[in-house]
C-alpha cells in the first residue's frame, strides 16, 4: 500500500500544469540541500578538533555534549520557520477500503524524510567517525550517535505538533523562550544539567532507551492527533463560527478600487498564510540593523542602499510577489465578474504603496544612525513605490501556482505560490537600487546617489498609468491559463 501511495503522489506531481516549474524548484532545493549538507559534514568533521583546541583541559566529547542543547534549539527554530510539513490529499482515500492507520503512518513517515533530519546525520556522522578513529569506546559512541538521531526525530514530531495545534504551540513556545531567557540573563543555566544528560547518554549506553521512548511517545501523540480528525464528516462539513464583521466603510473614499482593497484587507485579517506574511514583513524593518551597526558596510554604501530598500519593502516583497495567487481560491469567480482588470491591479498597487508608507513611518528610529542613513531609507521607499511595486506586479503575471490561504506555511521555505521566474524578476529588485545609487555616488558624491535613487521612484510614480497599462495587457493575455492553473492544487 505504501508503494501505491508513492505512485499516486508521483502521478499528482508529474501530471500537474506546474510540473516544469516544480522540477525547477526541486532542482534549486536539491542544490541548496547539497550546499548546506556539505557545510554540515565539514563542521561535523572539524568539531572534535575545534573543541579540543578551545577547551584543551576538557575531553572534547564532554565539551560537545555541554553545547549539544544549542544545536537542538537551533534545529527547532530552523524547523519552525523553514520546514514544510507534508501534505496529502486524503479525501478520496476516505471512501475506499484503506485503513486509516496505514494512511496516517505514511503521512508521518514522510516527515522522517525531511532534509532537517538528514542535516543532523550529516553533522553527527563525521563526528562519530572521528571519535571511533580516536579510540573512543565503540558501543558508547554508536549508542550516543543513535540517541542523537532519535532526538532529531523527536524535534521533527514536536515541530509537527507545534504547527498543527495552537495548544501545543502555546505550551512549548513560552517554555523554550523562558528557558533561553533564564540562560541569557544568567538566572538559571539550563545548558548545564542538559549537558550532564547528554554526557550520560554517552557514558551509559543503556540510556538510549530514553530517547527511544520519547520518540515513540511523540509519534503516538501525533498519530492520535491526526486520527482524531480523520473523518469524512469533519473534512467535508463546514464549521459554523461566529464572525466579527470589520467596518471598512472608510475605504469607500478610494472609489472604484475600494471593493478590491476591502477584499485584500479581509483576506489578510481572516486567513493564516497572509497573517504570517504580514508578521514576516514587519521583521524586515529590523533588516537595517544588520548593516547600519557594522562599520564594514559604512564603507560600502551600495549595500546600505540594498538594506534601505528592504527596510520599507518587506510587505511589498513578501505579499506583492504572490499576486494574484492570493486570490487563487476564488479567482475564477473574480474573473467572471464585469470588473475592469486595471482596477484589480491598481488596488494591489495602492495596497503596496500604503504598506511602504507605513513601514517608512515605523523606520523613523533609524534617525539614531544619522540623517544620511534615514535619507537613504527615504530614497529606498520612493524606489519601492515607483519601480519595485511595478516589477512585483509584473512578476505576478507569470505566477500561476495557487495558494491555500489557511494552510500554515513556512515563511522562508514554502514553495506554495512560488515559481523560479520570480527569482529572475527579483534580480532587478535587489540590484536595481544598488546600481542606481552606486554609479552617481562613484562619479559625483553621496548626495547624487541618493537623488538618483529617489528620482527613479518619482519617475515611476509619474508614469504610473503607462506601467499599469502594460502590466494589465500581460495579465489579460495569460488570464485563461491562470484560471486553469488555479483550478489545480499544488503538491
Cis ω before 324 (30° cut-off from 0): yes
Which residues in the chain land under pLDDT 70?
A: 1-26, 28-29, 81-82, 84-97, 165-170, 172-173, 183-184, 189, 229-247, 298, 406-426, 488-491
pLDDT tens sequence across 369-385: 888 888 889 998 999 99
Cα–Cα–Cα angle for 321, 315, 250, rounded to 5 degrees: 110
> Do 410 and 82 touch, CB atoms closer than 8 A?
yes
Burial of 254 (0-12, 13-18, 19+ CB in 10 A): middle
Residue linked to cell 505560490:
417
pTM above 0.75, yes or no: no
**Cβ-based burial of 466 (10 A; exposed 0-12, middle 13-18, buried ≥19):** exposed
Could you report the per-residue pLDDT of 27-80, keeping only the tens digit for each? 766 777 788 788 888 988 899 998 898 888 888 999 898 888 888 888 887 787
Whole-number CA gyration radius for the chain: 26
Amino acid at each position: 500500500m505504501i508503494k501505491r501511495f508513492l505512485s499516486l503522489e508521483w502521478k499528482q506531481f508529474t501530471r500537474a500544469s506546474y510540473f516544469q516549474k516544480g522540477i525547477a524548484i526541486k532542482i534549486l532545493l536539491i542544490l541548496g540541500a547539497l550546499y548546506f549538507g556539505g557545510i554540515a559534514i565539514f563542521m561535523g568533521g572539524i568539531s572534535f578538533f575545534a573543541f579540543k583546541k578551545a577547551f584543551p583541559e576538557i575531553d572534547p566529547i564532554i565539551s560537545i555534549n555541554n553545547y549539544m542543547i544549542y544545536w537542538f534549539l537551533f534545529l527547532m527554530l530552523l524547523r519552525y520557520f523553514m520546514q514544510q510539513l507534508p501534505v496529502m490529499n486524503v479525501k478520496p482515500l476516505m471512501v475506499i477500503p484503506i485503513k486509516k492507520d496505514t494512511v496516517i503512518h505514511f503521512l508521518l513517515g514522510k516527515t522522517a524524510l525531511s532534509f532537517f533530519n538528514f542535516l543532523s546525520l550529516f553533522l553527527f556522522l563525521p563526528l562519530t567517525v572521528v571519535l571511533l578513529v580516536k579510540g573512543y569506546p565503540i558501543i558508547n559512541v554508536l549508542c550516543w550517535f543513535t540517541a542523537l538521531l532519535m532526538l532529531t526525530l523527536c524535534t521533527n514530531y514536536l515541530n509537527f505538533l507545534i504547527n498543527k495545534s495552537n495548544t501545543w504551540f502555546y505550551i512549548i513556545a513560552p517554555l523554550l523562550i523562558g528557558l533561553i531567557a533564564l540562560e541569557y540573563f544568567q538566572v538559571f543555566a539550563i545548558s548545564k544539567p542538559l549537558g550532564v544528560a547528554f554526557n550520560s547518554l554517552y557514558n551509559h549506553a543503556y540510556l538510549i532507551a530514553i530517547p527511544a521512548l520519547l520518540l515513540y511517545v511523540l509519534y503516538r501523540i501525533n498519530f492520535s492527533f491526526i486520527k482524531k480528525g480523520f473523518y469524512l464528516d469533519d473534512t467535508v462539513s463546514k464549521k459554523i463560527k461566529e464572525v466579527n464583521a470589520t467596518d471598512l466603510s472608510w475605504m469607500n473614499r478610494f472609489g472604484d478600487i475600494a471593493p478590491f482593497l476591502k477584499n485584500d484587507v479581509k483576506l489578510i485579517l481572516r486567513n493564516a498564510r497572509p497573517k504570517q506574511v504580514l508578521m514576516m514583513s514587519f521583521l524586515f524593518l529590523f533588516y537595517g540593523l544588520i548593516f547600519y551597526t557594522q562599520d564594514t558596510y559604512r564603507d560600502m554604501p551600495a549595500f546600505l542602499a540594498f538594506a534601505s530598500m528592504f527596510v520599507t519593502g518587506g510587505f511589498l516583497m513578501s505579499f506583492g510577489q504572490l499576486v494574484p495567487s492570493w486570490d487563487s481560491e476564488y479567482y475564477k469567480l473574480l474573473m467572471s465578474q464585469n470588473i475592469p482588470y486595471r482596477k484589480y491591479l491598481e488596488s494591489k498597487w495602492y495596497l503596496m504603496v500604503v504598506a511602504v508608507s507605513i513601514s517608512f513611518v515605523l523606520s523613523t528610529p533609524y534617525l539614531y544612525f544619522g540623517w544620511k542613513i534615514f535619507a537613504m531609507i527615504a530614497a529606498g521607499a520612493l524606489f519601492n513605490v515607483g519601480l519595485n511595486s511595478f516589477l512585483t506586479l509584473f512578476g505576478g503575471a507569470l505566477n500561476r501556482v495557487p495558494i491555500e490561504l489557511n494552510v500554515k506555511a513556512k515563511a522562508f521555505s514554502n514553495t506554495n505560490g512560488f515559481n523560479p521566474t520570480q527569482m529572475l524578476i527579483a534580480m532587478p529588485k535587489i540590484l536595481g537600487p544598488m546600481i542606481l545609487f552606486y554609479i552617481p555616488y562613484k562619479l559625483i558624491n553621496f548626495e547624487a546617489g541618493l537623488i538618483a535613487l529617489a528620482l527613479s521612484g518619482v519617475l515611476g510614480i509619474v508614469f504610473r498609468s503607462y506601467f499599469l497599462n502594460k502590466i494589465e495587457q500581460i495579465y489579460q493575455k495569460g488570464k485563461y491559463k491562470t484560471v486553469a492553473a488555479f483550478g489545480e492544487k499544488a503538491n
